Structure 1
Amino acid sequence: MSVLFMFPGQGSQRVGMLRALPEDPAVAQALAEAGDVLGVDPLTLDTAEALQSTVAVQLCLLIAGVAVARTLVRQNAAPDMVAGLSIGAWPGAVVAGVLDFSDALRLVRLRGQLMEDAYPSGYGMAAIVGLAEPQVGAIVAQVHSAATPAYVANLNAERQIVVAGNDAALAQVMTRAQTAGASTVARLCMAVPSHCPLLDAQAAELSAAAAKVTPHAPQRTYISSSRARALFRANLIVEDLAWNMARPVLWHDTMRHAFERGARLAVEIAGNSALKRLAQPVFADDAVFDTSGGLDVVRVRIQRANSR
């Protein structure tokens, strides 16, 4: 029975998330390495004030994902596959063995800075629940203009679509979606318009920086949430990582692809249970876990699955 580790994106961050990591040698090592590479104590990144910064948010999600996954690996509860939503792809690539943690830390710091500098305010993302992608796409097409840029950004589930754009565009999209029958419309805790062409220039700059690192062939299957398929060549994975900020997220299709490749147990790593909920329509309810309640239950379940 194959095990999938799922790594969440922005919006899953929370105050004190690094301080709440389990006491384990793998966690201590990850925090120490992060401190050495970044030149700051990583525990200063997860305060309420610090998490106002896109840079801090993305670094926290990277560090937490790597630390928790390494803890499970050290406890003989390793994954066979990894998939990450947006920034979550980066800890996924580290756990898959494609990127050294130190290189990921430097590149994610640059990623967050590029995004933050490009859109310090006035932009973001909104979730539309209850409408299918063609309905949301039609609304976005009606709203989109030079003054009100709007794009379909995330296809998280069959009826959970995320739109990126500026504040005026998102307000119009949300109003029209409600009129069209959406059950929920909400702004996300995102200060930048991710997963759309508004970040093409930033993705190109990150790609140039990423081309200077030395990647490794994946030791575990890496599934791209931008392409909803597995990638096996290290250079293609690095390109996928660099450009995912400007490409739509195909999360529902990614989960289906993981299932089709044999994943039967899906574990959300260091998240807020959002990915767990999104995976449940694809996997059996008792085959989807998260680590928010502690690692012991997850570890035992993975070990049991691996023993079959």
Structure 2
Amino acid sequence: MTTAFIFPGQGSQAVGMGKSLADAFPVARAVFEEVDAALDQKLSALIWDGPIEELTLTANAQPALMAVSLAVIRVLESEAGLSIGRDAAFVAGHSLGEYSALAAAGTFSITDAARLLRIRGDAMQQAVPAGMGAMAALLGAELDLARAIAHDAAQGEICEAANDNGGGQVVLSGAKAAIDRAIAMAGERGVKRAILLPVSAPFHCALMLPAAETMRAALADVAMQAPVVPVMANVGAAPLSDPDAIRISLIAQVTGTVRWRECVVAMQAAGVTRFVEAGSGKVLAGLVKRIAAGTTSVSLGTAEDIVNYKSQNG
């Protein structure tokens, strides 16, 4: 069985995530303590006690989700003998989850990943004035149709495919008026549903260019090692191991489409038969089931999940 470890992105946050891990396993508690120290903030208290409105702020949600994912990995290493280099063929993450994947594979330290994600979250939030951008999910649309709708809805404004999540789910991002036009057009083009998403900024489109420049500077200052296994990168949907190529890809990811469907297809084509989602929620495992028939997927986010996983995997 060939395994890929996958890491969730924004939207998977929940108050209390990771608490059972920290209570049961000192190595998990140490991850949260390291993130708190890196950010000079008691982020762990916000993660476990809320309020959800503050946790959901981009600058908090991004390092918080990474912390939970890396806590899962550290527990798997200590309790189940996991070695990413030995036991995984690839790592991959959805948007901010790509930083979690890279930290799990040794490219970034947890401290550097937390600081980068705080910078990234702040920069993405500040790139567009509040209320000027929006995102919408098109359900029952493949990428080509979504891109055609985005093109026709733009009318001189930014409107682009932000996430190709697979299973007929594509997210558009751009100027608020253009996204409103896209939602109106979607029904006329045969899209089952078009839903305005409750997000604070229009991620993964050209409006994020100021944030991409911020990340170019931030990534230039951080030590990066080659990952112990390739990362299946969001923007290229291709495996990367060279730190310079990874740096370039992470900068492009801020404004580029998250090609999640193609990432999963590529990993399956390379022989992956099992996907292990490490972190909060079960979103990615659900997407994998729709994209990669014949593979198995499991989500690990709680102490109970890991005990069950360990019993099933020796």
TM-score over 0.5 for the pair:
yes
In structure 2, C-alpha distance between the alignment counterparts of 1:109 and 1:273, rounded to whole Å: 24
1:145 is aligned to 2:155: yes
AA partner of residue 299 (structure 1)? K
TM-score by length of 1: 0.91
Aligned-residue sequence identity (percent) comes to: 28
- Residue 155 of structure 1 deviates from its aligned partner by 1.1
- Residue 157 of structure 1 deviates from its aligned partner by 1.0
Equivalent position to 2:309, from 262, 273, 298: 298
AA partner of residue 157 (structure 1)? G
1:30 is aligned to 2:41: no
AA partner of residue 124 (structure 1)? A
AA partner of residue 158 (structure 2)? P
Q: Which runs of 5+ in 2 are unaligned?
A: none
AA partner of residue 138 (structure 1)? A
Partner of 1:62: 66
1:161 match: secondary structure: strand
**Aligned alpha-carbon RMSD (Å):** 1.9
Structure 1 runs (4+) deviating above 4 angstroms are none
In structure 2, C-alpha distance between the alignment counterparts of 1:105 and 1:239, rounded to whole Å: 19
Equivalent position to 1:125, from 135, 142, 149: 135
In structure 2, C-alpha distance between the alignment counterparts of 1:76 and 1:52, rounded to whole Å: 33
Equivalent position to 2:176, from 167, 188, 196: 167
- Residue 44 of structure 1 deviates from its aligned partner by 3.3
User: Any idea what the Cα deviations from partners look like across 1:249-274, whole Å, max 9, x if unmatched?
Assistant: 11111001111222111011223222
User: Any idea what the Cα deviations from partners look like across 1:4-40, whole Å, max 9, x if unmatched?
Assistant: 1111111111122243545212211101111111111
1:157 match: secondary structure: coil
- Residue 286 of structure 1 deviates from its aligned partner by 6.4
Partner of 2:241: 232
AA partner of residue 42 (structure 1)? L
User: Any idea what the Cα deviations from partners look like across 1:134-155, whole Å, max 9, x if unmatched?
Assistant: 2221111111034x42111111
User: How many pairs align?
Assistant: 302
Partner of 1:5: 5
Partner of 1:77: 82
Q: Which runs of 5+ in 1 are unaligned?
A: none
1:262 match: secondary structure: coil
In structure 1, C-alpha distance between the alignment counterparts of 2:125 and 2:300, rounded to whole Å: 29
Q: Where do residues 237-256 of structure 1 align in structure 2 (5 Å cutoff)? A: 237-256=246-265
- Residue 182 of structure 1 deviates from its aligned partner by 1.6
- Residue 64 of structure 1 deviates from its aligned partner by 1.0
TM-score by length of 2: 0.89
Contact 2:70 2:279 in 1 (8 A): no
